[in-house]
Amino acid sequence: AYYAYYKARGIVTVNAQYKDEKEIKDVTKFPERVYPLGRLDKESEGLLILTNDGRLTDALLNPKRKHEKEYSVDVNEKLTNSHIQKLQHGVDIGHVGTNKKYITKPALVRRTGPKSFDIVLTEGKNRQIRRMCGSLGLGVERLKRFRILHIELKGLKPGLFRNIEGKELEKLLKVL
């Protein structure tokens, strides 16, 4: 089973820590037991792929494979050309694992408004975009993933899912 799912803001992907938190499995019922490939933090929204095909986990998430994930980001201040260039070329987001310093890999960045941009990442460090923006003095007001590889939200509303099937599924399996 392969699903494209729109995780709503305020929902935890897995492993809720507090009684008032809800996970995807608490708010959405899938026809079979499936697991998310990757995560979005509680305050982020957007596309997750859920499946019961364990072969896909490393194939999609391993940063060595450089699979694209695209996000729409709204920040609390007007973006400068310097912000965009730094996001594109790599930003020090500090401690990742055992490293005291971590510079993000180059990213494609497209300004979409005075306080918004789209960004394409090929890695997925914990809260990476929030940390990238924070290192530049920007606060993230909204973060939405709308594409993983060629899979897109395609008009899904928060909390809803659709089957990944046909040519879309064939291409996903071939790429992975």
Summarised one tens digit per residue, pLDDT across range 107-134 is 999 999 999 999 999 998 889 999 999 9
9: phi then psi, degrees, rounded to nearest 5: -65, 140
Residue 99 reports pLDDT greater than 70: no
pLDDT tens profile 75-98:
999 999 999 999 999 999 987 666
Token pair of 123 as six digits: 């890695």
Cα 94 to Cα 127, 128, 152: the distances in Å are 12, 10, 31
Measured between alpha carbons, how far is 13 from 11 in angstroms, rounded to an integer? 6
Please compute Rg for the chain using Cα positions.
16
Question: Catalytic one among 20, 26, 41, 74?
Answer: 41
pLDDT tens profile 12-68:
998 888 889 999 999 999 999 999 998 999 999 999 999 999 888 888 887 788 899
Measured between alpha carbons, how far is 130 from 151 in angstroms, rounded to an integer? 23
Whether residue 118 lies in the annotated active site: no
Give me the pLDDT at residue 156, please: 97
How far does Cα 173 stand from its chain's mean position? Answer: 20
